[in-house]
Chain A
Amino acid sequence: QVQLVQSGAEVKKPGSSVKVSCKVSGGSFSSLTITWVRQAPGQGLECMGRSVPILDASNYVRKFQGRITFSADKSTRTAFMEVTSLTYEDTAVYYCASLGGDGAWGQGTLVTVSA
């Protein structure tokens, strides 16, 4: 059973960057695809992209292309998502999820963009 544990809440200034981590336990890291989903306050779910950490392969949703980067530390079974050039509209809860397999989700990371 895959479990995903994310890093804690962040408060960032407009124009800055944030890096969210997603630590994987259980399951097979080598076959895992991590999908990143965000949820703005009171809004629905939006896919940002996906990565296969073991292959260093990523697909980004066009809307976020150029502003987000996925990476991973295979030794610690941790996936990362960095978002740059933050604006107020990036205030949201960011989730990592394993939508294939057993469908696990992280607990979410609240990123607040505030001056």
Chain B
Amino acid sequence: DVVMTQSPISLPVTLGQPASMSCRSSERLVHSDGNTFLSWFQQRPGQSPRRLISRDSNRDSGVPDRFNASGSGTDFTLKISRVEAEDVGVYYCMQGTHWPYTFGQGTKLEIK
């Protein structure tokens, strides 16, 4: 199975400051159809996960434009340009290129 490794595990950030988190996969995530099925999810405390980004860098409807994702191959990054209080939670990357789908262990974003 593809192993997804996220870092850091914990990310303390000051309000209004940027945040960046990394996700690495043990195999390349380019599908045979040319798509890269790498998604990012946000899970606020006590809530279901919510997808922020699909297919590597496509922001979902309603997701603020301060969230941006990039990367290719095996290295991916999620950046928040200016952290707000509502961004507190755990962020997961997930690969959907190879079966079974696998998630990273999560990066917990907290406010300093």
Chain A residues within 8 Å of B, Cβ to Cβ = 35, 37, 44-47, 49-50, 59, 61-62, 95, 97, 99-100, 102-103, 105-108
Q: Which B residues touch A50, using CB under 8 A?
A: 101
Given A44-B106, A45-B92, also A99-B101 (CB < 8 A) = yes
Q: Across the interface, which residues of A come within 8 angstroms of B54, CB to CB?
A: 103
The answer to whether B48 and A95 touch across the interface, beta carbons within 8 angstroms, is yes
Please name all residues of chain A whose beta carbon is closer than 8 Å to the beta carbon of B92 when the two chains form the complex.
44-45
Residues of chain B with a CB closer than 8 A to A44's CB: 90, 92, 103-106
Indicate whether A103 sits within 8 Å of B39 (C-beta atoms), given known contacts A45-B92, A108-B48.
yes
Q: Can you list 12 A-B pairs, Cβ within 8 angstroms, ordered by A?
A: A44-B90, A44-B106, A45-B106, A46-B103, A47-B101, A49-B100, A62-B100, A95-B48, A99-B51, A99-B94, A102-B61, A106-B48
B102 on interface, CB distance cutoff 8 Å = yes
Measured CB to CB, the nearest residue on chain B to A97 is B49
Interface size, B (range)? 20 to 34
A45 and B51 contact, CB distance less than 8 A: no
**For A106, what are the chain B residues with a Cβ–Cβ distance below 8 Å?**
48
| Interface 1/0 per residue, B76-108 and A, CB below 8 Å | 000000000000001010101001111111100
B27 within 8 A of A: no
A97 and B10 alpha carbons, distance in the complex (Å): 26
**What is the distance, in angstroms, from B98's C-beta to the closest C-beta of chain A?**
11
**By CB atoms of chain A within 10 A, which of B92, B100, B102 has the most?**
B100
Q: Are A103 and B106 in contact (CB under 8 A)?
A: no
- Distance between Cα atoms of A107 and B100 in the complex (Å): 22
* A26 CB → nearest B CB, Å: 14
Q: How far is the CA of A100 from the CA of B90 in the complex (A)?
A: 21
